[in-house]
Amino acid sequence: MPAVPPQPGPPAAPAPPGPAAVSEPVSARRTAFAEGVDRLRVAATTEPGRLRIIGALLALLVVAFGAVTAWQMTDRASAADDVLNSSQPLSSDAADIYRSLADANTAAASGYLAGPQEKPAMRQTYEDDIRTAAGKLVTAAANSDAGSDSAKTIAQLNKLLPQYKGLVETARTNNRQGYPVGGAYLRAANELMQGQLLPKAEDLYQRENQRLNSDYADAKSFPWAATGLGLVALGGLAWAQRRNYQRTNRVLNHGLVTASAASAVVLLWLVVGHTVARAGLNDSYDHGVRSLNVLHDARIASLTARSDENLNLIRRGADTTKNANGDTVDAYAAGYDEQIARLAKALNNADGLADDSAGRKPVQVANESMQAWKDRHGVAQSMNNRGDYQKARDKVIGVGEDPTSVCFDNVDSALKKALAHEQDEFHQAASGGLDALTGLPYGAAVLAVLGAAGAVLGIGRRLSEYR
């Protein structure tokens, strides 16, 4: 009989849900730092492991000491070099700019006062001063940062200087032709000089002095970080050698002794070298820069006094002011008295700062000439007050007997000589300070590498005993 096909049965009931599968937690991967710490912890449980750690730390400490020493002493040597070859010369140039402008103003007034009797040397002095000021401004501009306050001041001085020269030439031309208006032009030139040029030149001088003081501070700053690391390095090396002695009963480890000797040499060189350099820089400041500042002030005071002396006769009482007693006096006569008092004070300070006869003698000559100048000026002023203008003028410009111009020239010449001497004193002392730092950064780096190698070799010698 035919086969009967199977009949479909009822659908199978779904299997009851079983428990959900739970995945195994995946542990987070540990960081390299954590694994390194574990390895160090394990290594520290054995003597060879401890020796390797000690050797690495000692080498790192000695290298760090040498690197910090090289870095700090490079900075100080660079600052000392700036003091000697950059900031102080620029400060001196700024003082020369001021002095040249003041001297040009004095020469212009003297030439105007002399009129047809103006000597070619007097005119040449004016021209030389203008050229000196212009040249120093170019040098200062080249060594100033673009956009800085000093650069802006220099630009203003370069703009004002031609204006001043134009006023002086106009005054001179009118004076030669006998026109009284020349005096007005000379007064305008003097006001431009006194009101704008000289204050800006003084501002430039003060900024360069601040820069010089900053370089001095950087060069003399004690290297505390390097010194501290040096002491720590020597302490670590001493501890390692003591530990080695306690475990092996061997007094010396040649590698560690080499590392200690190298570190000690660097530390001693660092302290002694910086101390000598600091002493030289202090000497260059105390017996160089301070004296130079005072002498610059004295020379500027003498130039201003001479200019006021001339303008007193040129203006003939047209400009007045009130003195301390409230009396009306000639402005330039009062200005002369004020500047002579300033000159006397500066010379007294310069004499106290001079540390040898070569520096003291020109200051004393300047002081004697100043006293004679005051006496002769008093005579000329009396002549002018009596209305004897011609004799007073001759007494001032050098035509009459015992003129004040000779005294001024003597003061200026003596101060110039004193400045040259103090400049040499500064250069010698600052050069000595810089020389004390020469080679220290490189020497520290080389000795540090030698010391680190010694520490590694010394520990390696101990490790070889475990193989």
Q: What is the 3-state secondary structure (H, E, C) of 191-232?
A: HHHHHHHHHHHHHHHHHHHHHHHHHHHHHHCCCHHHHHHHHH
Whole-prediction pTM: 0.78
* Calpha distance 202→211 (Å, rounded): 14
Q: Are 328 and 321 in contact (CB under 8 A)?
A: yes
The residues of the chain scoring below 70 in pLDDT are: 1-30, 32-45, 116-117, 249-251, 315-320, 322-327, 400, 463, 465-467
pLDDT of residue 347: 93
pLDDT of residue 122: 80
* Calpha distance 452→69 (Å, rounded): 15
Residue with tokens 């106009």: 170
pLDDT of residue 282: 93
Radius of gyration of the chain (CA): 40
Secondary structure element (H or E) that encloses residue 300, with its range: helix 290-315
DSSP states of 55-84: HHHHHHHHHHHHHHHHHHHHHHHHHHHHII
Residue 229: CB atoms within 10 A of its CB come to 22
